[in-house]
Amino acid sequence: MKIGIYSIVLGGLLCNVASAETELSADKLAGYRQSIQAYGGALKQELTTAIKSGGAIAALEVCHLKAPKIAQQISEKAGVSVARTSLKPRNAASAPDAWEEEVLNTFEARKAKGEDVNTLEFHAVVETEGKREARYMKAIPTAEVCLTCHGSKIKPDLMEKITALYPQDKAVGFNVGDLRGAFTVRETLTAAQ
Ligand code: HEC
């Protein structure tokens, strides 16, 4: 009888330990999707306005200076880290970490099997060295407008500026419909989350 009670108590403890969620909650996922939408929307607006008013070279400045700033603002507002990454990054600081690289490779494989790049996403709770982190990624497809700066026929004066700003640039040679990269969100979770 005694053993029975102990095992129930022990069972309860084990259960508590194991109950730290390994799946992202629907609320968190919805929040991450919203942050990405805000980030993507703001970028698109800035880019379109800049191209219209000052052409591709002015827009390059926007991507260079404003994209990281917008990411920072949205990250602070949402209390999570929001960024972009790519297997062929322009900004070396946007190179993927090991987890992101694997997800990007999976996105390429899923795309090759016929999945729509517009809806590709992946999320997980990742545990590293006792730290739990929620991670979310959403694919970024290449549209026509992107080819001005990420395509195969970039104007020489524009390319010169790109190379001056990003000597390690890899983000060229893309075609419409290609996976350009992904939005990436991360949040450190507390034990109760
Ligand atoms: C006017 C030039 C220009 C256009 C047009 C443009 N980009 Fe970029 N893109 C850049 C620059 C510059 C960066 C580097 C920004 C930075 O320093 O973080 C960049 C970075 C990125 C990144 C972050 C990863 C990396 O490579 O550093 C992604 C993803 C991206 N662009 C996707 C797109 C998509 C999708 C479109 C079309 C909707 C697009 N870009 C249109 C210039 C451009």
The tens-digit pLDDT sequence of the chain (193 residues) is 444 444 444 444 444 444 456 788 999 999 999 999 999 999 999 999 999 999 999 999 889 999 999 999 999 999 999 999 999 999 999 999 999 999 999 999 999 999 999 999 999 999 888 889 999 999 999 999 999 999 999 999 999 999 999 999 999 999 999 999 999 999 999 877 7
Ligand 1 centroid to residue 26 C-alpha, Å: 30
Pocket of ligand 1, beta carbon within 6 A: 47, 56, 59-60, 63-64, 67-68, 84, 86, 89-91, 94, 140, 142-143, 145-146, 148-150, 171, 180-181
CB 39 within 8 A of CB 75: no
Q: Which DSSP string corresponds to 8-36?
A: HHHHHHHHHHHTS-SS--HHHHHHHHHHH
The reported pTM is 0.89
Ligand 1 centroid to residue 127 C-alpha, Å: 31
Ligand 1 centroid to residue 63 C-alpha, Å: 6
CB 179 within 8 A of CB 104: yes
CB 84 within 8 A of CB 165: no
Shortest-distance atom of ligand 1 to CA 140? 35
Give, using CA atoms, the residue closest to atom 43 of ligand 1: 149
